[in-house]
Amino acid sequence: THTYWAPNVWALYNFCDCAAVVGARALRAAGLVADGGWLASAAAAGLAHSSGTVEPEPHALLPSVNPAFTLLLTLALNAPVLAAVWARPSRRPFGDALCLVSLAAFLAGWHVHEKAILAPLLLAALRALDGPRQLRAFAMLAAPAHYA
């Protein structure tokens, strides 16, 4: 996968791969990993996910992710929201759906910049004026968005 720019699902996925490499290295250092196995090759792998480059980097232990998979995942995350809006079209669900669809694109997109969180944040801010439920949803989104 590419290196992560935004704190989305793929940043966590890359972190898990890096943590698995560190764990494999610790097991190899303790003598618990046989040479020549897949765990030994993972222990020898470099940690390129945080290098800052935009080039695709293969994972050491986890399966590598390609743009087509992220597109399918984004569509799968959007399908329930779009189906709900299609079933009962009105202004209120449409505003919520816009926010959720843009949030799904941020969370599962292939090459997402950290500023992409501003689109769902702006939509959630507009929806926060409608009541306490929407205000709570905005606050839950705004808190982690400030660290993006």
Q: Which residues contact 126 (CB under 8 A, 6 or more apart)?
A: 95
- How high is the pLDDT of residue 35? 77
- How high is the pLDDT of residue 54? 60
Task: Tell the residue number behind the tokens 């919520």, with chain if given.
Answer: 96
HSE-up (13 A, CA, CB side) for residue 88: 8
Confidence of residue 125 (pLDDT cuts 50, 70, 90): very high
- How high is the pLDDT of residue 80? 95
Give the separation between CA 25 and CA 15, rounded to whole angstroms: 15
pTM over 0.75: yes
Give residue-wise pLDDT tens across range 89-113.
888 788 889 999 999 999 998 888 8
Give the separation between CA 40 and CA 82, rounded to whole angstroms: 45
